[in-house]
């Protein structure tokens, strides 16, 4: 079952709860005039999230967490470019010994949580759900309960409003 609608009618938090309670599997895509975000669910649990205009790319996250240096990132980016962009930056950093897999997974999962937090305030745009669609070429998935993500995101929104 594929379906779609307007974010002014069903906001992201409501859709996330609906997918979680209904134990749906597939891709939920939000489309706005400025951005697009995709969320993949398996039996109602979020497993992967991506957004077109990311505030921070994975390299910035890794540097901020002091897991790699600017020089290491630049070296990995040079290799990424020389290979025509066919290998993921994280894998290049691991192959070079600059980063371990667990640290990369933790940062990627944190980045996916930020995607959820970024879309919660969206009230304009469209959504479309594609039943049974799963992410391709992805080896790191998120493992956190959807209701925890929603609560944390709504808490952040409240804190922004009170500042």
Instruction: Return the HEC string of the chain.
Output: CCEEEECCCCCHHHHHHHHHHHCCCEEEEEECCCCEEEEEEECCEEEEEEECCCCCCHHHHHHHCCCCCHHHHHHHHHHHHHCCCCCCHHHHHHHCCCCCHHHHHHHHHHHHHHHHHHHCCCCCCEEEEEECCCCCCCCCCCCCCHHHHHHHHHHHHHHHHHC
Q: What is the mean pLDDT of residues 43-63?
A: 84
List pLDDT tens digits, range 57-89.
788 889 888 999 999 999 999 998 988 878 888
Per-residue model confidence (pLDDT) at position 86: 81
List pLDDT tens digits, range 124-138.
999 999 999 888 877
User: Does the pLDDT of residue 121 top 70, yes or no?
Assistant: yes
User: Does the pLDDT of residue 1 top 80, yes or no?
Assistant: no
Q: Residue ranges of the domains in the chain?
A: 3-53+122-162, 58-105
Per-residue model confidence (pLDDT) at position 41: 93
User: Does the pLDDT of residue 56 top 70, yes or no?
Assistant: no
Per-residue model confidence (pLDDT) at position 55: 63
List pLDDT tens digits, range 89-115.
888 999 999 999 999 888 888 888 889
19 versus 61: the higher-pLDDT residue is: 19
Per-residue model confidence (pLDDT) at position 16: 92
């Amino acid at each position: 079952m594929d379906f779609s609608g307007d974010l002014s009618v069903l906001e992201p938090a409501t859709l996330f709860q609906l997918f979680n309670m209904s134990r749906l599997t597939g891709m939920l895509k939000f489309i706005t005039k400025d951005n697009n975000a995709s969320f993949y669910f398996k039996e109602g649990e979020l497993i992967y999230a991506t957004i077109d205009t990311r505030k921070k790319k994975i390299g910035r996250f890794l540097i901020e967490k002091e897991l790699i240096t600017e020089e290491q990132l630049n070296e990995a980016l040079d290799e990424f470019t020389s290979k025509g962009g066919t290998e993921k930056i994280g894998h290049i950093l691991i192959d070079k010994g600059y980063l371990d897999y667990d640290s990369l997974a933790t940062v990627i999962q944190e980045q996916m949580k930020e995607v959820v937090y970024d879309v919660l305030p969206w009230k304009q745009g469209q959504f479309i759900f594609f039943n049974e669609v799963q992410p391709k070429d992805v080896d790191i998935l998120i493992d956190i309960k959807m209701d925890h993500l929603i609560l944390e995101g709504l808490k952040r929104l409240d804190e922004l409003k009170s500042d």
